[in-house]
Structure 1
Amino acid sequence: MKEITLKVEGMSCGHCVSAVEGAVKKLGADGKVDLAGKSVTVKYNEQTVSVDAIKTAIEDQGYDVAK
């Protein structure tokens, strides 16, 4: 398992946390949002999930992932 921390702009509440963590979970990865730090730490299997797919899933929820 690999781990990456991504900066995510636009998160401000519990719904945001659920949306981002849920989007990551649908990919088969495990995400933990740090609302105060405006980031999400994702543990994923690089054989089945790419970083680009994780970023896209988060952006599809309406949040901006720092490039």
Structure 2
Amino acid sequence: METLNLKISGMGSAHCVGVVKDIIVKQDGVAIENIALGQATVSYNPEKVKPETIIQEIEKMGYKVDQ
């Protein structure tokens, strides 16, 4: 497993945290280490998912992600 630290713009409430959490946990090979307003730290299996895929899925919901 590898770790990915994400800065996420557009998360303004606990609801947004829940939306991002749901997006992350639905991806095969990804686990949440920590999530809060504006940031998330995830572990992922590089044999199952690429960091770019994780970011794309979050951005599809209208959030902006930086590493």
TM-score class normalised by the smaller sequence? 0.7 to 0.9
- 1:6–1:41 CA contact under 8 A, matched in 2: yes
Secondary structure of the 1:30 match is: strand
- Which of 34, 40, 43 is matched with 2:36 structurally? 34
- Superposed structure 1 runs of 4+ greater than 2 Å apart: none
Pairwise CA distance, 1:61: 1.4
Structure showing the higher strand proportion among its residues: 2
TM-score when normalising by structure 1? 0.86
Structure 1: segments with no counterpart, 5+ residues:
none
What RMSD over aligned residues (CA atoms) do the two structures have, in Å?
1.2
Count of residue pairs the alignment pairs up = 65
Percent identity between the aligned chains? 34
Structure 2: segments with no counterpart, 5+ residues:
none
TM-score when normalising by structure 2? 0.86
